């Protein structure tokens, strides 16, 4: 008597072939799904409104003045001050903290605000619009210091900036005459030693030269100049008659001061 043994591998192959044939016989045609076409209705007014939107380039936007932009070239800074906190900087910090408390945020979002130092540098063409605005607010209208770019600004000018905001300016007429024509600090940035630092760097860049200036008789800057050793040489009556507004509280008389080096 003979017994026939089916090999396990061949038996499995036969089962797979039967399964495939059964699946093939049970196939049903696939019903195609109708494609959903988007609505052809378009609001032309919305499209026209979107096309008419004019965006401000980041380089000239308000946020760029706050945060700063990376220019292709910038001069080496004269000094960088990370320690000074001006009244304006302190006020902005308090405003952000108050907003965080009022909105219930325990952690301030610093993504739109970054710390920055006060940087002292020399006058550059991009500073001129802000410098003119600052000088007109502090002194009188019509001031134009564009010609300072022609008289060795590396020695005759110092500009204090916070990010892209000009907060102070000090200018000599030229390295040859060494007469201080303007020294001004932006409102909200006073009482932060900015004027003192600008005057120090201006004097340091013109060693062994006498420096002169005129200052209004009731100007508190007299105390600053005395700290640097400026001495009164002359009292000039009506020196600012042609410049100051008749209603200005500043004295139109001036002291001529000199720093001998």
Instruction: Write the secondary structure of 139-193 as one string of H (helix), E (strand) and C (coil).
Output: CCCCCCCHHHHHCCHHHHEEEEEECCEEEEEEEECCCCCCEEEEEEECCCCCCCC
Per the CB < 8 A criterion, the answer to whether 194 and 201 are in contact is no
Element (H, E) at 231: strand 231-236
pLDDT digits (tens, 9 = 90+) for 84-128: 999 999 998 888 888 778 877 655 555 556 778 999 999 999 999
Same domain, 200 and 90: yes
Same domain, 93 and 123: yes
Same domain, 219 and 255: yes
Q: Is residue 193 part of a domain?
A: yes
2: helix, strand or coil = coil
Q: Tokens representing 148?
A: 């300072």
pLDDT of residue 97: 83
pLDDT of residue 3: 40
Per the CB < 8 A criterion, the answer to whether 231 and 257 are in contact is yes
The sign of the CA dihedral 61, 67, 69, 73 is positive
Residues sharing a CB contact under 8 Å with residue 79, sequence separation 6 or more, in sequence order:
119, 120, 197, 201
pLDDT of residue 151: 87
Same domain, 97 and 189: yes
Element (H, E) at 103: helix 87-103
Order of strands across the sheet that contains 165-172: 79-81, 118-121, 157-162, 165-172, 180-185
Q: Is residue 87 part of a domain?
A: yes
pLDDT of residue 239: 96
Per the CB < 8 A criterion, the answer to whether 211 and 228 are in contact is no
- Taking the C-alpha atoms of residue 201 and residue 120, their distance in angstroms, rounded to an integer, is 9
Residues sharing a CB contact under 8 Å with residue 153, sequence separation 6 or more, in sequence order:
122, 123, 124
- Taking the C-alpha atoms of residue 183 and residue 205, their distance in angstroms, rounded to an integer, is 16
22 φ/ψ sector (left φ>0, alpha ψ -120 to 50, else beta): alpha
Phi/psi of residue 258, nearest 5 degrees:
-140, 135
Same domain, 167 and 92: yes
pLDDT of residue 57: 76
Same domain, 131 and 221: no
Q: Is residue 58 part of a domain?
A: no
Strand partners, 183: 170
195: helix, strand or coil = helix
- Taking the C-alpha atoms of residue 76 and residue 39, their distance in angstroms, rounded to an integer, is 59
Please calculate the CA angle 218-200-220 and round it to the nearest 5 degrees: 10
Instruction: Select from 162, 185, 207 the last residue of a domain.
Output: 207
Domain count, the chain: 2
Q: Which domain holds residue 182?
A: 79-102+113-207
Same domain, 199 and 222: no
Same domain, 179 and 93: yes
Per the CB < 8 A criterion, the answer to whether 260 and 240 are in contact is no
Which CATH number belongs to the domain containing residue 96 in this structure?
3.40.630.30
Same domain, 168 and 131: yes
Q: Tokens representing 12?
A: 């499995």
pLDDT in tens, the chain (261 residues): 444 444 444 554 555 555 555 545 555 566 665 555 555 577 888 888 878 878 777 666 776 666 655 554 567 899 999 999 999 999 988 888 887 788 776 555 555 567 789 999 999 999 999 999 999 999 999 999 999 999 899 999 999 999 889 999 999 999 898 999 999 999 999 989 999 999 999 999 999 999 999 999 999 999 999 999 999 999 999 999 999 988 889 999 999 999 998
Same domain, 139 and 225: no
Same domain, 119 and 133: yes
């Amino acid at each position: 008597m003979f017994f026939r043994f089916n090999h396990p591998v061949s038996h499995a192959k036969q089962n797979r072939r039967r399964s495939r044939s059964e699946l093939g016989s049970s196939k049903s045609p696939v019903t195609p799904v109708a494609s959903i076409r988007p609505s052809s209705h378009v609001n032309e007014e919305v499209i026209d409104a979107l096309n008419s939107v004019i965006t401000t380039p980041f380089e000239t936007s308000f946020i760029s003045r706050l945060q700063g932009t990376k220019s292709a070239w910038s001069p080496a800074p004269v000094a960088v001050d990370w320690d000074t906190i001006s009244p304006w900087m302190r006020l902005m910090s308090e405003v952000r903290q108050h907003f965080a408390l009022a909105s219930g945020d325990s952690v301030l979002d610093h993504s739109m605000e970054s710390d920055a130092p006060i940087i002292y540098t020399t006058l550059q063409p991009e500073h001129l619009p802000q410098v003119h605005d600052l000088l007109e607010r502090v002194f009188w209208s019509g001031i134009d210091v564009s010609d300072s770019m022609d008289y060795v600004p590396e020695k005759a000018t110092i500009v204090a900036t916070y990010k892209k905001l000009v907060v102070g300016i000090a200018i000599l007429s030229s390295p040859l005459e060494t007469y201080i024509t303007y020294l001004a600090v932006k409102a909200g940035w006073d009482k932060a030693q900015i004027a003192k630092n600008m005057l120090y760097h201006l004097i340091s860049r013109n060693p062994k030269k006498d420096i002169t200036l005129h200052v209004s008789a009731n100007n508190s800057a007299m105390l600053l100049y005395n700290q640097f050793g400026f001495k009164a040489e002359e009292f000039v009556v009506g020196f600012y008659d042609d410049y100051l507004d008749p209603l200005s509280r500043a004295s139109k008389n001036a002291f001529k001061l000199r720093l001998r080096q």
